[in-house]
Amino acid sequence: MLTGWNVAILGGDARQIEMIRKLSEWDATLHLVGFDQLDYGFTGANHIDMDDDEVEKFDVVILPVAGTDESGNIDSIFSNQNMVLDEKWVERTKEGCIFLTGIANGYLTKLLETSDRLLIPLLSRDDVAIYNSVPTVEGAIMMVIQNTDFTIHSSRVHVLGLGRVGMSVARAFQGLGAKVFVGVRKPAHYARVQEMGLEPFYLNRLDEVAENTDIMINTIPAPIINASVIRKMPSHTFILDLASKPGGTDFRYAEKRGIKALIAPSLPGIVAPKTAGRILANTVLQILKDQQRKEGKTK
């Protein structure tokens, strides 16, 4: 149990609802910031503002999956509050306070290092990424169907990257009857793609293979689908970028060429927020229980 733990949840989307439920079941003392427009309340949860004195009690701070922007701003779909995470605010929390986020950008990483607080990016964990790949794949299939006028079956699908998401996406589209090609950089990944029964190619040939693609799905958070690649694509090609913002696609040039290109970095929270929230909630619980055992913390 987390009896006696003061846990703050700062903004976010529907995924945070599952975390609130789970942490409440485990008897944590919850402080909610940025949930003033939530349609329903949670018994025992304390709704506060960013400048509330309760900040000094926090053992754990849970940020949205997107963390903050490069100025420290925190988004919440349940509030119009202006929420900013800065050095002054962080230093008001208890020494040893744990900060949990989905993604850690440069601003957030530097801020927590400077303040000597532990930062744990949940989406960097293999278990979370693998579990999250399931709703990501379902969302990718949905978006491809909605934005094309041809079937996935028999289409030529190019998946860029063989990470945890890329592997799941490639397998799913293969299962739907697509001709799947996977772009990689490493010889070991090239061999793995062949072992999976898919068609590998090296990413330095991307502008060549782009001539014969119907659907291109990117999972690499780097500018890889550039103008020289898009210039070679057939006009009917659909680009779906699953990489974290700003993605790896030159969206301006794609629009200029009439190529439909969309970025969707948070598909689990869009297509299956309850499932995605449960994945994060279970991971947060495991982290806190491990920390509890590590510190011999019974509270």
Q: What is the pLDDT along the chain (299 residues), one digit of tens a residue?
A: 888 899 999 999 999 998 999 999 999 999 999 998 887 767 778 999 999 999 999 999 999 998 999 999 999 999 988 999 999 999 999 988 999 999 899 999 999 998 889 999 998 898 998 898 999 999 999 999 999 999 999 999 999 999 989 999 999 999 999 999 999 999 999 999 999 999 999 999 999 999 999 999 999 999 999 999 999 999 999 999 999 888 999 999 999 999 999 999 788 888 999 999 999 999 999 998 888 777 765 44
With b meaning 16 or more CB within 10 Å and e meaning fewer, what string describes 222-232? Answer: eebbeeebbeb
Rg (CA), the chain: 21
Two structure tokens written together for 166: 């890329």
pLDDT at position 142: 96
Domains and CATH numbers, the chain: 6-124+272-295 (3.40.50.720), 128-265 (3.40.50.720)
pLDDT at position 89: 96
pLDDT at position 246: 86
Report pTM.
0.81
CA distances from 278 to 3, 67, 88, 129, 217 (A): 20, 18, 32, 13, 26
Q: Are 99 and 85 in contact (CB under 8 A)?
A: no
Cis check: omega of the bond before 265, within 30 degrees of 0: no
SS3 sequence, the chain?
Answer: CCCCCEEEEECECCHHHHHHHHHHHCCCEEEEECCCCCCCCCCCCEEECCCCHHHHHCCEEECCCCCCCCCCEECECCCCCCEECCHHHHCCCCCCCEEEECCCCHHHHHHHHHCCCEEEEHHHCHHHHHHHHHHHHHHHHHHHHHCCCCCCCCCEEEEECCCHHHHHHHHHHHHCCCEEEEEECCHHHHHHHHHCCCEEEEHHHHHHHHHHCCEEEECCCCCCECHHHHCCCCCCCEEEECCCCCCCECHHHHHHHCCEEEECCCHHHHHCHHHHHHHHHHHHHHHHHHHHHHHCCCC
Strands 199-202 and 179-184: parallel
pLDDT at position 180: 98
